[in-house]
Amino acid sequence: MMKNVLNTNNMRNHRFIVMAITAMFLLVRVPNLLFAQKSINDYKKELEQNIYDLDIIEGLYDVRVKIEAYAPRIGWVTRSQSFTALIRAVPDKEGSFFITALKGDIEGIVGIIQKMGGNGYYTMTRGDANGNVQTSQIQLSDMFFFKVVEQNGLGNARSQTEQRFTKSYPTAAMYSKAIRKYEEEHNKPERWTGSGFALQEGYLVTNYHVIDGAGKITIQGATDIFSESIEAQVVATDKDNDLAILKVKGDVPKLSLPYAIKTFTSDVGEDVWVLGYPLTSTMGDEIKLTTGVISSRSGYEGSVTMYQISAPAQPGNSGGPVFDKEGNLIGIVCSKHAETENVTYAIKASCLRNLVESSINHDILPHTNTISRKELTEKVREVKRFVYFINCNR
């Protein structure tokens, strides 16, 4: 009789280990959830497009599952599985998320996660091979990793299932970029201004950062009445070199620009002068002239696409033209050094030429200088008609 009892116990222990080893994720029915599986690349696009709205637990994960089971006379048995999982919000059910295995040892919807208030607390529910429902606690201390441990026992037999979730998408770099973009967009005012100047055929130039995020762009100074605004649209950008080409809407009279573009590099010590519309709210809307010299043929952090000049610049000067003493256009104001006096950076005109050649199907750059022999006051008088005050609205 004792022998039969031992045999029965051994059979139970064996069955327990078999059931524990096979107690991986199984389908959990989700009421009213219509789920059509997509490719992993489709999910990546979806997550990237909705990154601002994601809960911290949502994303694609590499999942590693390790099951250890023990019974007397049989000893320890270990098995492991791995798969790629998606955790995504259940439609129209706030605080609920489904887990689906997309690729690996298993596939299909395998569990439900429920948010428990704030502070990164969740519960995960799944069905196991025994037909039971397993509910486990999750506490996220890191948005890129969490672990779920389940333990079961039957008599002297026991098992432990450890599931390690490591988020692979969105990446940390994507979250950082999204945060920076959000802060930039929400810290930007409803209206801001900059400067720009004319090319031929109704085209004009400014900085990329001036028009970035603008829903509507208008320019002033293109007519005899300064307060009269003309709408413009972006036609080409070079974000890396902080340049944008705009075109005014509607018919444009043919202009004879008095300045030419100079695309070979100027020397240190050359005189320069700058026109623009800085701080108009306090300094007024009359165009402002500042003068200086080329301090360096390289810009911020040694950038060879910029000049460093000593002509002062203020907020609002961005996008304004930089001329040499003959009245040739040599650069575009882009920034100033916040920790020093009279250190202004200007993008070299060669970058503008490259943008025009790569994005406009014909030449719109000015090539004839008619003011080279004139005094500075006369140069300014003729050029200022082609330097514009740019208004941007969100």
226 and 371 co-located in one domain: yes
238 and 328 co-located in one domain: yes
Rounded to whole angstroms, the Cα distance separating 123 from 329 reads 65
Q: How many domains does the chain have?
A: 2
Query: How buried is 373 (Cβ within 10 angstroms: 0-12 exposed, 13-18 middle, 19+ buried)?
Result: exposed
355 and 266 co-located in one domain: yes
Q: Which of 258, 288, 256 is nearest to 273 (CA)?
A: 288
215 and 344 co-located in one domain: yes
State pLDDT tens for residues 218-277.
999 877 767 788 999 999 999 999 999 999 987 766 778 999 999 999 999 999 999 999
Q: Which of 382, 372, 363 is nearest to 260 (CA)?
A: 372
Q: How far is CA 284 from CA 114, 278, 279, 312, 319, in A?
A: 58, 9, 7, 17, 18
- Give the mean pLDDT of 131-135: 77
Whether the per-residue pLDDT at 338 is higher than 90: the answer is no
Average pLDDT, the chain: 85
State pLDDT tens for residues 296-321.
999 988 899 999 999 999 999 999 99
Query: What are phi and psi for residue 67, nearest 5 degrees?
Result: -120, 130
Kindly give, in sequence order, each residue whose CB lies less than 8 Å from that of residue 242, ignoring residues fewer than 6 positions away. 207, 208, 209, 334, 335, 347
The whole domain housing 232 covers 191-393
Spacing of C-alpha 335 from chain mean position = 22
Residues of the chain with pLDDT > 90: what percent?
53
250 and 110 co-located in one domain: no
185 located within any domain: no
Q: Between 175 and 187, where is the model more confident? A: 175
Q: Between 262 and 73, where is the model more confident? A: 262
105 and 223 co-located in one domain: no
Of 145, 174, 203, the domain-final residue: 174
Q: Between 161 and 377, where is the model more confident? A: 377
Residue 32, pLDDT score:
42
> Quick one: pLDDT band at residue 289, thresholds 50, 70, 90?
very high
205 and 167 co-located in one domain: no
**170 preceded by a cis bond (ω within 30 of 0):** yes
Rg (CA), the chain: 33
70 located within any domain: yes
Whether the per-residue pLDDT at 1 is higher than 60: the answer is no
**Tokens at 189, concatenated:** 């005012």
245 and 159 co-located in one domain: no
Residue 254, pLDDT score:
74
183 located within any domain: no
**Tokens at 4, concatenated:** 């039969």
Lowest mean pLDDT among 134-143, 246-255, 268-277, 339-348: 246-255
